[in-house]
Amino acid sequence: MSPSYCGRIAPTPTGYLHLGHARTFWIAMERAREAGGTLIYRDEDIDPQRCLPEYAQSAIDDLRWFGCDWDEGPDVNGPHAPYRQSQRMDRFLQAWEHLKKGGYIYPCDKSRKDVSRAAQAPHADDDAEPIYPESWRPALGAGRTAKEPGATNWRFRVPNDREIIFDDVRLGPCEFECLRDFGDFLVWRKDGVPAYELAVVVDDNAMGITEVVRGEDLLISTARQLLIYEALGLTPPQFYHTPLMCDSSGLRLAKRHRSLSLRELREAGHSPEALRHSDDWWSGLED
């Protein structure tokens, strides 16, 4: 890594952060500090139905309490403001326009439930991601005359017979096969906001992020996003996927685990120092 390193902490304010989030963000901070680089805090509040200001502020407060700090963000001056995705819609619309003109995306009236039902054929793998049926795709060029996304979903047309291969900084070579491991995916939602895959690509590029640190559960998102980087003519950052933190039953931590939220742990009298140095905290972490 070099002094030009730029990382980011990017919570989604749909609930209180849990210990797994804290571990990932702590690793992101440490990697930025070890590189002598910059760390940006970005509030990914793109979903107006689920993202609440109270959760956005609690994330900042709880991470400060935990010991995390950053160089740029909602409460720190810096050249990349604004740091809230909800204030960056013009950039996302420009990316949508580029993808539409290039024929990379198309309008889609199918819901997530429709895709799940279609994938429930007798031969389907129960553990596999539901794949959008190729037979549902419109002809090439569909939607190119649209002036705006409108009240419909837009999907990225995943190429046939293509493998997405990338080197993860921690895990090494990772490989996904298009239309087997994932199919056509959302880049714009019918409620008028960009999907996660598009928003993070646009923001990470605009903010000069050189390494994305996030959980292993987002490995397949990286494969999708590499297709978007390519379609937009952008250079992707490096990726470092952290091990997931699980509860005592082996389930991955989620925001529904209130007892392991930073807010609850803080109120229960736990110290950030003890949490950072517990054996469970570093379980499974590899250099």
272: in domain: yes
pLDDT score for 281? 47
pLDDT score for 245? 75
283: in domain: yes
| 124: pLDDT strictly greater than 70 | no
Residue 81 sits in the same domain as residue 99: no
Q: What is the DSSP string of 6-27?
A: EEEE----SS--BHHHHHHHHH
| 194: pLDDT strictly greater than 80 | yes
Which of 39-48, 96-105, 269-278 comes out lowest in average pLDDT?
Answer: 269-278
Residue 53 sits in the same domain as residue 106: no
119 burial (CB, 10 Å; 0-12 / 13-18 / 19+) is: middle
Residue 280 sits in the same domain as residue 266: yes
Which of 121-135, 136-150, 249-263, 264-278 comes out lowest in average pLDDT?
Answer: 249-263
Q: How many domains does the chain have?
A: 2
| 159: pLDDT strictly greater than 90 | yes
Q: 3-state class of 244 per DSSP?
A: coil
How many angstroms separate the Cα of 231 from the Cα of each of 10, 70, 131, 202? Answer: 23, 31, 21, 12
Integer Cα distance of 94 and 232 in angstroms = 10
Residue 108 sits in the same domain as residue 81: no
Q: Which amino acid is at 278?
A: S
User: What would the mean pLDDT of 25-39 be, rounded to a whole number?
Assistant: 97
Integer Cα distance of 151 and 231 in angstroms = 23
142: in domain: yes
* Domain limit, last residue, from 203, 223, 258: 203
228: in domain: no
Residue 78 sits in the same domain as residue 93: no
Catalytic residue positions? 255
* Domain limit, last residue, from 182, 203, 224: 203
Peptide bond into 82 cis (omega under 30): yes
State which residues form the domain around 112: 88-203
Residue 39 sits in the same domain as residue 54: yes
Residue 65 sits in the same domain as residue 136: no
Q: The domain spanning residue 59 has which CATH number?
A: 3.40.50.620
CB atoms within 10 A of CB 267: 9
Q: Which residue has the tokens 């469970």?
A: 280
Q: Which amino acid is at 93?
A: L
Q: Which residue has the tokens 């690509």?
A: 201
pLDDT score for 285? 34
- For 97, list phi and psi in degrees, rounded to 5: -60, -45
| 283: pLDDT strictly greater than 50 | no
Nearest to 234, CA basis, from 255, 208, 253: 208
218: in domain: no
Q: Which pTM does this prediction carry?
A: 0.90
Nearest to 39, CA basis, from 207, 256, 276, 275: 207
pLDDT score for 186? 97
Tens digit of pLDDT for each residue in 37-95? 999 999 999 999 999 999 999 999 999 999 999 999 987 878 888 899 999 999 999 99
* Domain limit, last residue, from 175, 203, 231: 203
Q: How confident is the model at residue 286 (pLDDT cuts 50, 70, 90)?
A: very low
Say how far residue 28 (Cα) sits from the centre of its chain.
14
Higher-confidence residue of 245 and 84: namely: 84
Q: Which amino acid is at 34?
A: E
| 168: pLDDT strictly greater than 70 | yes
220: in domain: no
Average pLDDT, the chain: 89
189: in domain: yes
Residue 92 sits in the same domain as residue 78: no
Instruction: Kindly provide the b/e burial profile for residues 270-285, where b requires at least 16 CB atoms within 10 angstroms of the residue's own CB.
Output: eebeebeeeeebeeee
Residue 109 sits in the same domain as residue 40: no
| 122: pLDDT strictly greater than 70 | no
Residue 95 sits in the same domain as residue 158: yes
Which 8-state DSSP code applies to residue 135? Answer: G
Residue 160 sits in the same domain as residue 93: yes
Residue 81 sits in the same domain as residue 150: no
214: in domain: no
Nearest to 57, CA basis, from 286, 278, 269, 263: 263
Tens digit of pLDDT for each residue in 195-206? 999 999 999 999
